[in-house]
A and B are shown apart, each in its own frame.
Chain A
Amino acid sequence: DAGVTQSPTHLIKTRGQHVTLRCSPISGHKSVSWYQQVLGQGPQFIFQYYEKEERGRGNFPDRFSARQFPNYSSELNVNALLLGDSALYLCASSLDWTPYGYTFGSGTRLTVV
């Protein structure tokens, strides 16, 4: 059974550009969460989606947005990129909205130059 799939694996963008990151959850998982991990720090919560609705939002600016599709896959969008947005973006899927049974993907490494 496939794990959590994230694409692309690596990405280089210029300041001010827009980026879309994608995540496919494990089959049967209806919740997707997004985390940002800056080098040398622990992951920080960005969003959680369950059954296509936003269940939680972390302390991130409105430049960050996300959505979940009917097949439970998800996109994370970041507008007007800043150098400080450079990070590893992790997606995690789980059966429901509770903090159990998280499976993390390998992440997308975003570099903003």
Chain B
Amino acid sequence: KQEVTQIPAALSVPEGENLVLNCSFTDSAIYNLQWFRQDPGKGLTSLLLIQSSQREQTSGRLNASLDKSSGRSTLYIAASQPGDSATYLCAVGASYGKLTFGQGTILTVHP
């Protein structure tokens, strides 16, 4: 059974800092790994998707890496802004479409 863990559970940083969110998973037989953003009471917005054969993906100030052998992924956010404040969720994709989510990291960026 796939289990996904995210560390830290919450993070508060001043504006402008670079930060790293961590995700670990127990079964390395994954289809892909995705990072989502969730604003309070809202649905999920896809940020980055890394296929199982890839090592990293970048979009603007976001960079996500994947190490399947060690069961780890990191999301790097450069030059954080107050608008980045949200919950960040890591999800592992199985071959038949199921996503297994971590519990999320609540990020607060204060001015």
Shortest Cβ distance from residue B33 to the other chain A in the assembled complex, whole angstroms: 10
A98 and B95 in contact, given A90-B44, A107-B42 (Cβ under 8 angstroms):
yes
CB interface residues, B 1-55, toward A, < 8 Å: 4, 6, 31-32, 34, 36, 41-46, 49
Whether B103 pairs with A42 at a CB distance below 8 angstroms is yes
Task: For A97, list chain B residues within 8 Å (CB).
Answer: 96-97
A33, A48, A104 — which one has the most chain B CB atoms within 10 A of its CB? A104
Query: A35 vs B100: C-alpha distance in the bound complex, in angstroms?
Result: 10
Judge if B102 is at the interface, Cβ distance under 8 Å: yes
Interface of B is mostly: strand
Count residues of chain A with CB under 8 A from any CB of chain B: 30
CB interface residues, A 34-66, toward B, < 8 Å: 35, 40-45, 48, 50, 55-56, 58
Query: A88 vs B38: C-alpha distance in the bound complex, in angstroms?
Result: 12
Task: For B98, list chain A residues within 8 Å (CB).
Answer: 33, 45, 48, 56, 58, 99
Shortest Cβ distance from residue B66 to the other chain A in the assembled complex, whole angstroms: 14
Task: For A98, list chain B residues within 8 Å (CB).
Answer: 31, 93, 95, 97
List the interface of chain A (C-beta within 8 A of B). 4, 31, 33, 35, 40-45, 48, 50, 55-56, 58, 88, 90, 92, 94, 97-100, 102-107, 109
